[in-house]
Amino acid sequence: MLRELSIKNFAIIDDLSVTFEKGLTVLTGETGAGKSIILNAVNLLLGSRASPELVRSSEETAELEALFEVPPESPVAKVAKEQGFDVSEGLLIRRLIQEKGRHRVYINGQLATLHMLSAINEHLASISGQHAHQGLLRPEQHLQVLDQFGGLTKLRGRVSAYHQEMLLLITEYAGLKRQHVEQTEHRELLEFQYREIQQAGVTRDEDIGLEEERQRLRHAHRLHETVGRCVDRLYGAEGAVVEHVAEVAKELEALGSIDSSLTPLAKRVEEASFQLEDVANDLRGYLHHVIFDNDRLEEIELRLDLLQKLKRKYGGSLESVLDHEQEAEEALQRISMLPEHIAEVKEKLDELYKKLSKVCRELSRKRRKAAEQLSAKVQQELATVKMSGTRFEVSFTPNPVNEAVDSHLLLDGSGIEANGIDRIDFLIAPNVGEDLRPLAQIASGGELSRIVLALKGILATKESVETLIFDEVDAGIGGGVAEVVGKKLQSLSHFHQVICISHLPQIAQFGMHHFKVAKKVYRGRTRTSMTPLQGDERVKELARMLGGVKVTKKTLDHAREMMTGH
């Protein structure tokens, strides 16, 4: 429920604060006084888009603020809690609209986004003005009204959830099938590459070992000749190095009896002699392993040539060749599993389609039953607002079907959408003997206002919003009908806080609370004020509404009689 409203530097409003109460509140005043501007401010606090042009001339920022009283178990409280806001002491919404720069939204003092604001305010208040009346002419609004009336919102939510899941599965299924087609040629290439590498029997760093072996085979003669010569010089030939070193060791050892410091050196030379002998023996062994094998050399050359070709094709190294083999194997496994994966997704699609079809048919069946009840109730309600004899029906048509639509989004000749398989249209025949036609083709302004009011009356106990605001509810209606509309608004106020802008005293007389909106010029600037009326002041306002510019004793008496007549 709206408790407090504060408006600063907004259009022609300088500084305005007002407190609202339960029941029916009426706002009256001369045309252009600023009544619709006040409702525009409320609309912005409920999440409408703002424009810098709304900032009062010569000011930089417009400030709008509203305090709502929120029942603890209400949908608003639930959504606000999900958004991280504690509304136990109320919901304070503040918007700053800047002439230059970005606009800002605050919820309970915390900076918020328009998306967060809209989510919370969905169940907070409903404004039925000319825009809302025109909205009722759109068939998509009719479906929402019918579902709300029939208590089908949760069932519709299940349809929407299944539909969203279905869209994701259809996209996945189509992607897998496309991938399967695209990878047919790719599979052949991968199989060839994997087979080529696997048949080659490549091992990691194989090329390094082969390169070393090739070098030894290519230079076998030189290796054998040179190493043999080195063995002779070290040990085999006359005057070999080992003999000379051994003689040096003996001579130094003999001198050790003269100078003991030479003894360790003699031992070191002797050790060097032994090491040279070992080297010579190792070199003899090496000679036994020097191979002269042209066939093996040719084999290695062919192998290295194959490895080089593989390296050029698959990344430049044997490591990259082996990595490619593994990647190809894994890709082939994935491709081989695609048909199984496609079958699994298809099975999920078929299973989900059964669930979606079931809830769609259930929703459609319950809608048709609710439509009969709604039609009867609307006709009853319209009779109470001077539209007796009006026929009202709900027309059902299937959703149109696109030729390219997936078969899982088709049911009983209708396309499955997020709201089910039905499209409906409110049909009306205001006068006896006329054919039923769509609401948009028949209803006049006055008739549309009363149809909106009738629907609000029917949905009063079901509608989750706390505050209903009506602008131009009296459009196109006269005094007699206006009184009936006023009574209907009063009846609605038993279920909701109702705020109504009206130009007709026949409606204004039913308000539990009455504000007069007026504008005046102060120091060369136009200002809008909003004054609560009681007693004689309220009688005078009703008299003004009755008699226009000139208020006579007769109009005052009439106004007083209206005030005491109900």
pLDDT-flagged residues of the chain (< 50): none
The pLDDT value given to residue 549: 66
pLDDT tens-digit series, residues 446-491: 677 778 788 888 877 666 677 888 886 777 677 778 888 888 889 8
The pLDDT value given to residue 193: 85
Q: Is 101 helix (H, G, I), strand (E, B) or coil?
A: coil
Q: What is the pTM of this model?
A: 0.64
The pLDDT value given to residue 156: 94
Residues 288, 229: Cα–Cα separation, whole Å: 14
pLDDT tens-digit series, residues 296-321: 888 888 988 888 899 888 888 888 88
Q: Is 63 helix (H, G, I), strand (E, B) or coil?
A: strand
- Please give the structure tokens belonging to residue 224: 């054998």
Closest-CA residue to 448 (of 472, 417, 484, 416): 472
Q: Would you say domain 1-135+445-531 falls under CATH 3.40.50.300?
A: yes
Beta-carbon contacts of 420 under 8 Å, excluding residues fewer than 6 positions away, are 156, 159, 360, 363, 364, 367
Give the long-range contacts of residues 79-83, CB within 8 A, separation 24 or more: 79/119, 79/120, 79/122, 79/123, 80/107, 80/120, 83/107, 83/112, 83/116, 83/119, 83/120
The pLDDT value given to residue 464: 62
Domain boundaries in the chain? Answer: 1-135+445-531, 183-333, 534-566
Quick count: other Cβ atoms within 10 Å of Cβ 551?
18
The pLDDT value given to residue 201: 85
95 backbone dihedrals φ, ψ, rounded to 5°: -125, 135
The pLDDT value given to residue 165: 96
Environment class of 30 (CB within 10 Å of its CB; exposed 0-12, middle 13-18, buried 19+): middle
Beta-carbon contacts of 48 under 8 Å, excluding residues fewer than 6 positions away, are none
